[in-house]
Amino acid sequence: MSNLDKKDIAGTIAGNMQSSEIYADNVRMMGSRGHGFAAEKANHLYDVFTGNDAKIIGDDNLKNGADRLVNGTQIQTKFCNGGGKCISECFEGDKFRYWNSDGSPMQIEVPKDFYLDAKQSFTQRVERNPEQFGISGTKEEIKKAAEKLADETIKESPFTYAQAKNIAKFGTVESITFDAVNGIKVAGTAMGISAVISFATAIWSGEDFDVALESACYSGLKVGGIAWVTSIATAQIGRTGIEQSLRPATDWVVKQLGNKTTQALANTLRASVGKSSIYGVAASNHLSKFLRGNVVTGVITVGVLSSADLFRMFQGRVSGAQVFKNVTNTAASVAGGTGGWMGGATAGAAIGSAVPIIGTAAGAFIGGILGSFAGGMAANKASSAIMDNLIEDDSKEMQDILGSVFTRLAQDYLLSTAEAEKVLAKLQEKLSVDILRDMYGASSRGSFAENLIEPLIIEEVKKRRVIRLADLPTLENVADELEVILEKEMNHDDESESVETQNLKNDNTDTTSTAPVNLNFVWRIK
């Protein structure tokens, strides 16, 4: 079995795709200037969560262009180890680098703890060369104008320089908090997709609206939680040496794909998660980083989904072979779903681009969902077929023990066919995966099975009619019946057995035996 429910495949893979995109975007934090990029991302998140219309626009690498756009205002982020250093980065010699299209200076965003120093430094630079800012007049007038321009131009970040540096590091409170906030959207996407699929599946199965809604909520919360944890862990791994160790392999894969395929695949995947298109070297680098993120995300997802099995193995409630089987099937589902997403997104993007009412982004997203579901299902089915031939489930072994114990107890209590069937029905209602795991971990599985089954048999046996002394046949009844039997026997030919004699033997068969009970039933485990 797989630890990934069929209805949860699409939501899980959708979360993984977004986590891989976040990974690809954030690996730049590993560089020597990673804290500057971390500051830019952190400031952007802050603006988004405080209700501003914020966009990151610096990915186009336009020389002297803005990093961010907030409520229509262009912003350049400078996080250096001092206010003066932040401002000096904004100048080439005495010439200011960052201008809006209307000729006004862009806003310069600096660390919270260096804000005052940065304003003072900017004021001094304006005073030394006021003409480029359109300022003239007496020395006092220039000073006042410079101070006013500094107030308008220098923007105080909500984060300090130290916090930005910690965001770029592995395992710090700041970096984990940043990744947790960043993962909220990932969790929301995964939760929504899983909830919708779960609800639809329940309705199609004939469930009531309330039951379908409850199932959808449970599924959404579970998958959303897994996606959130996976997103955090993946982003953290992107700040370690593992990122660099994977790079040669993914760079080689991208190189084999060729420029045209690489660009198409990179933009299809970006479209499926709502990102704009990129080209050339940027597309190749991004796809390589995305693939590294996909590897990390896939491994972490399988680990998260399998953690409960590993814990049960340490408790002795499941075997190592069962855990290996489950992990293999889960990994196959995740890998198949990922491949299905890529293929489905590509096909969906092509259809969407040909049908304007759908659009490339929507087509890629819908195609990715359908592809991940189909790919995950197919991979899980293939893996399960192979693993079932190699490893028998623990549950099958436990069911065999239950069948053996039931047969013995049914004979001990002389159960009739009707009684045995009623006990089996109650046993099937009581059985669950957790009970089978408890049975596997029990010191005596036979005793566990007996303690589970015998109370059900006793409960059924208590319903039998009580036979009193007055209900027993008298001696005269027995004598008369024997006389009838002897007369019948004497009337038959000694050399052949008549049909009547055969029927008599059948009539004398013990009707309290359990022979008619078929124990080869299908266990319906909850």
Mean pLDDT of the residues in the chain: 84
HEC string of 30-97 equals HCCCHHHHHHHHHHHHHHHHCCCCEEECHHHCCCCCCCEEECCEEEEECCCCCHHHHHHCCEECCEEC
pLDDT tens for residues 375-406? 888 887 887 777 666 566 777 788 888 888 88
User: pLDDT digit string (tens) for 226-266?
Assistant: 999 999 999 999 988 888 899 999 999 999 989 888 998 88
Which of 183, 176, 50, 46 is closest to 112 using CA atoms?
46
- In this prediction, residue 116 has a pLDDT band, given cuts at 50, 70 and 90, of very high
Burial class (CB in 10 A: 0-12, 13-18, 19+), 259: middle
**DSSP class per residue in 395-415:** HHHHHHHHHHHHHHHHHHTT-
Q: Report whether 342 contacts 371 (CB < 8 A).
A: yes
The better pLDDT of the pair 474, 17 is held by 17
* Full-model pTM: 0.71
Q: How far apart are CA 238 and CA 235, in angstroms?
A: 5
Cβ contact 164:36 at 8 Å: yes
C-alpha span between 60 and 22 (Å, rounded):
17
pLDDT at 305 over 50: yes
Biggest CA–CA distance in the chain, Å, is 145
Using CB atoms within 10 Å of the CB of residue 281, give its burial: 0 to 12 exposed, 13 to 18 middle, 19+ buried. exposed
According to DSSP, the β-strands at 107-110 and 54-56 are unpaired
User: What is the per-residue pLDDT across 26-77, written as a single tens digit (0 to 9) for each?
Assistant: 888 876 678 989 999 999 999 999 999 999 887 766 788 999 999 999 999 9
Question: For residue 124, what are its two tokens?
Answer: 């001094």
Q: Is the pLDDT of residue 268 over 90?
A: no
Q: In the structure, what pLDDT confidence band is assigned to residue 187 with cuts at 50, 70 and 90? A: very high
- Give dist(CA 471, CA 149) in Å, integer: 112
Helices (H) and strands (E) in the chain, counts: 19, 7
